[in-house]
Structure 1
C-alpha cells in the first residue's frame, strides 16, 4: 500500500511540473504609467454642467397643498391641477426606489398624515 501512495504523489508532482513555464518564457509584468503628483485635471467647462431639471411633474403648481391631509379627495385635486396621474405617494417608512423620473410627482407624507413635501422624481 505505501508504494501506491508514493506513486500517486510522484504522478501528481510530474503533472504539476508540466504545467509551469521555464523562467525564460515568463512574460514581464505590465507597467502602468503613474501621473506626476503635480498634474491637475482640467476644470470642467461651463457647458459640462447639467442643466437644472425643468418642472416636468408640475410640483411648482402645488404650493397650496402643503400641510393638507393626504386624503383621497386631495390627491384627486392634485391630479387635476398637474394634469397627469404619474404620482407616487411616499408614506413614512415606505421603501422607495431610487430611479429618477422628472415627469413623476412625489408626494411625501409626514407622520401626521399631512403632505410635507412635493417634488419631481
Structure 2
C-alpha cells in the first residue's frame, strides 16, 4: 500500500513539473501615448490638428472608417464625428 502512495505522489510531482506557467500580462497604460494631456481637443474642429505637432504614431478616425483591433500602447487615436469635431482622444 505504501508503495502505491509513494508511486502516486512521485507521479503527481513529476507531472506538475511539466506544467508551463504563463506570466501575467502587464496592465496597459491608458496614457502611454499622451492622450491625457490632449483632452482639450475634444469638441474642437479637426482643423486644429494641422497646427499641432502630435506624437507618432497617430490615427485619425473618421466616421465609418474601419480600424484594426490591434493594441499599440503608444498610438494616439483621435475620433471625429460627421461634423469634423473631435469626439474622443485615447491610446490604443
For this structure pair, what is the TM-score category when the shorter chain's length is used for normalisation?
0.5 to 0.7
For 1:99 and 1:92, locate their aligned partners in 2 and report how far apart those are by CA, in whole Å: 19
- Gaps in structure 1 of 5+ consecutive residues: 1-47
Q: Highest relative contact order (Cα 8 Å, sep 6+), 1 or 2?
A: 2
Query: Residue 103 of structure 1: which of 74, 80, 89 is its match?
Result: 74
Alignment of 1:4-19 (within 5 A): none
Structure of greater Rg:
1
Aligned length: 70
Q: In angstroms, what is the RMSD of aligned CA positions?
A: 2.1
Partner of 2:49: 74
Return closer, same or farther for 1:94/1:54 CA change in 2, 3 Å cut-off: closer
Q: 1:54 Cα shift?
A: 4.5
Q: 1:75 Cα shift?
A: 4.1
Q: 1:85 Cα shift?
A: 2.4
Task: Name segments (4+ residues, structure 1) moved above 3 Å.
Answer: none
Secondary structure, counterpart of 2:46 in structure 1: coil
